[in-house]
């Protein structure tokens, strides 16, 4: 194990790495059920849903094994949020455009993901993606981690879990609970869901404060233990206060992997003929769109998380970046072959890094747990959103500390960083926020008489984002 992961060299231990991997898993386990829900329109129990579920587990695990052994980095990968929603929209549009069934349209859209993955493998091997990372100005790069931190806090406080009731929903913690004028307004708005919301709020903050206090005492497993405390409190409150059985789903859950359904619907089910029906222009546009979003989401996550972990050099570059990007690209190809949308590096990796993860053993642990979910998915599904919210808020706060590396008195840096700080949580897209930051950096430099300080590649990337924002239909 020492030979593969160089634990001593990276100042860590096997125990710390395993705990970090488990922590990362708990913060991102939601994707196992959410991804097939989004990609199939919540058609739970259908053959396509079962196929996407299995593909999510397998492709994620395979990508994390690549990250572990090729790059020796603690980053976890899975079908990316945002990209999966966009994929579902593309599938629906293909169905409407061609008249194909949803399953056939899904299989046609998988061709887009396959092409994207192959393109990224080639670009990673040729070091093009690494050059793109280097093209991001250092000042802008320093603002990526804090911006991701705000996005994590927004997820934890704003949109990680919604509460539904007879009055509608989803209702969210920050908008509908803390945003209400009075408790009575919140109660009348949420109806019977108010009790569940109170439990969500109380549990989240107990979990958050538990993590903070444990961390202040130097406890390395603070995030994981805090999440476990939050989970126990939520389960107890759900049972005693709300009169609900938090483990009820386990009674009827199936622990048999739906291999036959995946083989019938998604496994290597590329509908090339259907893909050709959408037209060359549309096809090329979709491939470019997926590539750009995924590329900068991945770059932003890797740079931001690595910066927080102290895994970058004085120029802000991470060793083995090429191998990390290649692992991400291979994961996307694996996702296409098994039957899911773009596999990308997850921002929740930051929780494992904060728990002490520094090597590929963290990624390997998370990958093994994803693989195990083929059999134990129902158990992973009972982790309450309140527990993951607590962890995401805490990690987000820590990533905000990276603002100390930004020169606040330099408008060339501060304007792009400020735009990213607001852009990421509002747009929920790391890539789009980075694009906005690069465009603003380029414009400021050019019109302040310093065009020579902007690299050629930065000009190209800024121009591509302008095309992406205003011209791609």
Mean pLDDT of the chain: 89
Token pair listed for 428:
């929920």
**CA separation, residue 390 to residues 194, 242, 342, 442 (Å):** 20, 21, 27, 37
pLDDT tens for 215-235 read: 899 876 788 889 899 999 999
**Residue 228: both structure tokens together:** 């476990």
Query: Per the domain annotation, does 420 fall within a domain?
Result: yes
- Same domain, yes or no, for 385 and 434? no
Q: Is residue 248 in a domain?
A: no
Supply 80's token pair.
């990316």
Locate 93 and state its tokens.
């549009």
The number of domains in the chain is 2
345 with 432, same domain: the answer is: no
Q: Is residue 182 part of a domain?
A: yes
Encoding tokens for residue 317?
Answer: 């570059």
50: Cβ contacts below 8 Å, ≥ 6 apart: 36, 258, 261, 262, 265
Asked if residue 152 and residue 84 are part of one domain, the reply reads yes
286/140 same-domain check: yes
Domain boundary (375, 399, 423) is at: 399
Distance CA 213, CA 436 (A): 37
In angstroms, the CA 143 to CA 403 distance is 7
Is residue 254 one of the residues assigned to a domain?
no
What SS3 state is found at 42? coil
- Of 379, 399, 419, which residue constitutes the final position of a domain? 399
Evaluate if residue 473 carries a pLDDT over 60: no
Tell how far CA 385 is from the center of its chain: 15
Tokens read off for 81:
């949020």
Judgement on whether residues 454 and 344 belong to the same structural domain of the protein: no
Q: Does the residue 2 lie in any domain?
A: no
Contact (CB, 8 A) for 342 and 332 = yes
Task: Count CB-CB contacts under 10 A for residue 300.
Answer: 29
Question: 178 and 96 in one domain?
Answer: yes
Q: What is the pTM of this model?
A: 0.78
- Tokens 């009348």 locate to 188
Structure token pair of residue 115 = 């092409």
- Residue 221 belongs to domain spanning: 10-243+263-399
- For the chain, how big is the Rg over CA atoms in Å? 22
Angstrom distance (rounded) from CA 130 to CA 119: 14
Query: 461 and 373, same structural domain?
Result: no
Residue 297 pLDDT > 80, yes or no?
yes
Record the tokens describing residue 67, joined without a space: 């990250």
Q: Which of 344, 379, 399 is the last residue of a domain?
A: 399
Q: For residue 54, what are the contacts with CB-CB under 8 A and spacing of at least 6? A: 257, 258, 259, 261, 262, 338, 339, 374
Structure confidence by residue, pLDDT tens digits, 407-457: 889 999 999 999 999 998 898 788 889 899 999 999 999 999 999 999 998
33 band by pLDDT with thresholds 50, 70 and 90:
confident
For residue 282, pLDDT beyond 60: yes
Percent of the chain whose predicted confidence (pLDDT) is above 90: 50
Q: Measured in whole angstroms, how far is the alpha carbon of residue 267 from the centre of its chain?
A: 23
Average pLDDT of the residues in 29-53? 86
Q: Name the burial class of residue 290, with classes exposed (0-12), middle (13-18) and buried (19+) by CB atoms within 10 angstroms of its CB.
A: buried
CA distances from 202 to 72, 387, 394, 418 (A): 38, 11, 15, 31
Please check whether residues 139 and 16 belong to one and the same domain.
yes
300 and 415 within one domain = no
**Does one domain contain both 406 and 394?**
no
The pLDDT-based confidence of 25 (bands split at 50, 70, 90) is very high
pLDDT tens digits, one per residue of 332-369: 999 999 999 999 998 889 889 988 999 999 999 999 99
Digit-coded pLDDT (tens) for 47-79: 999 999 999 999 999 999 999 999 999 999 999
Instruction: Report the distance separating Cα 473 and Cα 453, nearest Å.
Output: 32
Of 270 and 93, the structure prediction assigns the larger pLDDT to 270
Q: Give me the helices (H) in 29-67, please.
A: 31-40, 47-66
Tell me: pLDDT of 120 over 90.
yes
Tokens of 40: 């199939």
Please, are residues 154 and 425 in contact by the beta-carbon 8 Å criterion? yes
Per-residue pLDDT, 230: 93
More confident residue, 304 or 232: 232
Predicted local distance difference test score (pLDDT) of residue 423: 92
| Furthest CA-CA distance within the chain | 68
In terms of domains, do 330 and 458 share one? no
364 found inside a domain: yes
CA distance 76 to 426: 24
Residues 286 and 374 in one domain: yes
Burial of 466 (0-12, 13-18, 19+ CB in 10 A): middle
pLDDT band at 144 (very low <50, low <70, confident <90, very high): confident
């Amino acid at each position: 194990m020492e030979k593969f992961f160089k634990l001593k060299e990276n100042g860590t231990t096997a125990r710390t790495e395993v705990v970090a991997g488990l922590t990362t898993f708990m913060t991102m386990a939601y994707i196992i059920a959410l991804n097939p829900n989004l990609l199939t329109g919540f058609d739970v129990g259908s053959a396509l849903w079962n196929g996407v579920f299995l593909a999510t587990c397998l492709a994620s695990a395979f990508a994390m094994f690549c990250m572990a052994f090729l790059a020796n980095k603690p980053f976890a990968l899975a079908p990316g949020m945002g990209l999966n929603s966009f994929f579902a929209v593309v599938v629906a549009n293909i169905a409407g455009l061609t008249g194909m069934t949803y399953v056939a349209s899904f299989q046609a859209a998988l061709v887009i993901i396959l092409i994207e993955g192959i393109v990224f493998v080639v670009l990673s091997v040729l070091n093009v993606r690494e050059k793109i990372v280097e093209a991001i100005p250092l000042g802008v790069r320093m603002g990526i981690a804090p911006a991701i931190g705000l996005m994590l806090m927004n997820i934890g406080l704003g949109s990680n879990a919604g509460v539904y009731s007879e009055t509608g929903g989803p209702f969210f913690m920050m908008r509908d609970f803390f945003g209400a004028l009075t408790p009575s307004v919140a109660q009348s708005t949420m109806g019977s869901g108010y009790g569940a919301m109170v439990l969500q709020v109380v549990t989240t903050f107990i979990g958050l404060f538990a993590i903070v206090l444990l961390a202040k005492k130097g406890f390395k497993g603070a995030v994981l233990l805090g999440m476990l405390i939050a989970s126990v409190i939520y389960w107890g409150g759900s049972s005693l206060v709300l009169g609900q059985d938090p483990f009820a789903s386990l009674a009827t859950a199936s622990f048999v992997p739906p291999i036959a359904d995946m083989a019938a619907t998604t496994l290597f089910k590329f509908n090339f003929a259907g893909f050709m029906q959408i037209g060359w222009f549309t096809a090329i546009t979709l491939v470019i769109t997926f590539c750009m979003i995924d590329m900068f989401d991945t770059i932003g996550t890797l740079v931001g998380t690595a910066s927080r972990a102290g895994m970058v050099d004085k120029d802000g570059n991470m060793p083995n970046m090429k191998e990390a990007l290649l692992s991400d690209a291979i994961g996307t190809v694996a996702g296409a072959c098994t039957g899911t949308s773009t596999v990308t590096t997850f921002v929740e990796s930051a929780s494992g890094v904060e728990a002490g993860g520094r090597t590929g053993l963290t990624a390997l642990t998370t990958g093994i747990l994803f693989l195990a979910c083929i059999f134990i998915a129902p158990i992973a599904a009972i982790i309450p959103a309140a527990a993951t919210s607590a962890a995401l808020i805490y990690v987000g706060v820590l990533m905000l500390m990276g603002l100390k590396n930004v020169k606040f008195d330099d408008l060339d840096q501060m304007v792009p960083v400020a735009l990213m700080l607001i852009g990421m949580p509002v747009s929920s897209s790391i890539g789009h926020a980075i694009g906005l930051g690069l465009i603003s950096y380029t414009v400021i430099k050019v019109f302040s008489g310093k065009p020579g300080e902007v690299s050629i590649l930065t000009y190209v990337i800024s121009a591509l984002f302008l095309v992406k924002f205003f011209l791609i239909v």
